[in-house]
Chains A and B, each alone.
Chain A
Amino acid sequence: MDVRGLTQSFPGPDRNTIEVLAGVDLAVRAGEFAALIGPSGSGKSSLFNVIAGLDRPTGGEVLIDGRAAIGHNDLVSYMPQKDLLFPWRTVVANAALGLEVQGVDRKQARARVAGLFEEFGLGGFERAYPAQLSGGMRQRAALLRTVAMDRPVLLLDEPFGALDSLTRTQMQLWLAGMCERFNWTVLLVTHDIREAVFLADTVHVLSARPATVTARIEVPFGRPRTAATFRLGEFAELEQAVLEALGGQGGQGAEGGQGEGEGEGGNR
């Protein structure tokens, strides 16, 4: 995935335009796990909406597998901050929603996602309603729904922001394992430096609004990533490096893990 010189602005109050993205460049190789981190309100959501094909930018381009992706909503699958599992659908029906919407026959769609339930630690919960699942399981079901659409790029928007810290750590370990098995191409937005460093191959630091990518930090750890990864000496150094890359712009709210959800950039 290649994002080049993306700019975006929205009409603000008093006939001003608010410039949200000021030329964002971002390259993610196939099979790479990229994390995007930035201060609150730095326009991460605006960037996501463009990449997901929901909004048109004022300038720049997005290429996915060499194809122009702007305005196309069939190249990435998007997992929002809230799990957005629909309470009236069973877990398997929720997971199959993306396929159903794309015109896959309902039975076939459900059979296809049901095959993934064991892998996602949801075996036996196919017929349960989301209200019967724990927070971590809901998040796994939401990821299953995202993955089931079988698109080249996964966009994960602070997927663990609403979880308690113990569950979040478990989910990070689990996600690392899943990524190693399936070799997804992932772009993860997070407020959590620790999460970014632990999960990602590259960490991209976004400036305050109007946003540009100010730093690209390679994470040299191999795979698999396990609980032991957290204890590596370089882990703390990398966290420090990301923090400094963020710190130069006085962005508040960038320190690990608050996961504040509201008020991103040009989000209406």
Chain B
Amino acid sequence: MWSRQWRFLWPPTLLVAVLLLAWQGVAALSVRNPQVLPTPGAVLSAGWGQRTVLWQNTMTTLRETLLGFALSLVVSWLLATAMDFSGPIRRAVYPLLVVSQTLPIIVIAPVFVIWFGFGLMPKLLLVALATFFPLAASLSAGFAAADGDAMRLLRSMGASRWQAFVKVRVPGALPYFFTGLRVAITYAVGGAVFAEYAGSINGLGIYIQQMQDGFRTDLVFASVAVIALLSVALFASTFVLERMVTPWRRHDSAQNSTRNSDRSSTRDSERKGQHEWRR
């Protein structure tokens, strides 16, 4: 059990350790100016010293992130469902989805602040804007990937379109959805921070700006580290959620060992392929 987790954990741990060491070396021996590049140790102790303030700002940012992401989830499910049921809606909306992804947040963020003020609203909207496209696009692709023969089977059973959607298209789309979810969640924290950066009272974004103005580079780095940790934690939580929502996928691996492999699925063979190429 532990040895298995260790196998996944040691390569990133080692890499991070090497990078930190290199940073320490450059900062302490070459740059030697903490306002330009503080050492990792200095960042850690400065961050620890300001832990209460950092914590408060982190909670603000986290709340904006989660609320904005929830908004994004609701809208993307509704829209992907509408797109699945109606060709015209799909053709009308899809280009706009793409456009929504190409809008530069740097430009949008101040505009949203002008429109909606310094409160929660512009943050929610920016997080939603940043995360919406991967969610809706992956869901939409997942719905569309439903096996045509499976749909015919449901039709022959007398299923309505809605029944076929709920019983086949939605569960079949979940693996796609979680892929999109993982992409989207990495944008979410960044979206919230950007929105704060453009104008707010609390949050890591505005905190970073203040620390920059005060040449507290160590605290800027500490905040960035918190943002990174937050993103990684949210990213990891998608795997927990996926395991809870798709319990059947745990049994996929049993397929290789216990079955005469007369019809191993594509995913199976992909995994076998990975296995051969690993190391």
Interface residues of A (CB under 8 A from B): 49, 52-54, 73-74, 76-78, 80-82, 84, 86-89, 97-98, 100-102, 129, 131-135, 138, 149, 162-164, 167, 268
Across the interface, do A129 and B248 meet the contact criterion of CB distance under 8 Å?
Answer: yes
Cross-chain contact of A135 among B147, B171, B263 (Cβ < 8 A): B263
B interface: dominant SS: helix
Across the interface, do A134 and B150 meet the contact criterion of CB distance under 8 Å?
Answer: no
Give the residues in chain B near A76, CB-CB below 8 Å.
156
Give the residues in chain A near B255, CB-CB below 8 Å.
131-132
* A-B pair number, CB within 8 angstroms: 84
Chain A nearest CB, measured from B38 CB (Å): 50
Across the interface, do B156 and A77 meet the contact criterion of CB distance under 8 Å?
Answer: yes
Across the interface, do A162 and B263 meet the contact criterion of CB distance under 8 Å?
Answer: yes
Chain B nearest CB, measured from A261 CB (Å): 10
A89 to B247, CA, bound (A): 10
Cross-chain contact of B152 among A54, A87, A101, A167 (Cβ < 8 A): A54
Interface residues of B (CB under 8 A from A): 147-150, 152-159, 163, 167-168, 171-172, 174, 246, 248-249, 251-252, 254-255, 258-260, 262-263, 265
Which chain B residue shows the least CB distance to A88? B171
Give the residues in chain A near B156, CB-CB below 8 Å.
52-54, 73, 76-78
A87 to B158, CA, bound (A): 21
Across the interface, do A134 and B259 meet the contact criterion of CB distance under 8 Å?
Answer: yes
A61 to B74, CA, bound (A): 48
Chain B nearest CB, measured from A108 CB (Å): 16
Give the residues in chain B near A97, CB-CB below 8 Å.
157, 167
Question: Given A101-B163, A131-B251, A132-B254, do A80 and B158 touch, yes or no (CB 8 Å)?
Answer: no
A164 to B264, CA, bound (A): 13
Chain B nearest CB, measured from A266 CB (Å): 13
Across the interface, do A80 and B149 meet the contact criterion of CB distance under 8 Å?
Answer: yes
A163 to B172, CA, bound (A): 24
Question: Given A53-B156, A54-B155, A88-B171, do A135 and B259 touch, yes or no (CB 8 Å)?
Answer: yes
Which chain A residue shows the least CB distance to B259? A134
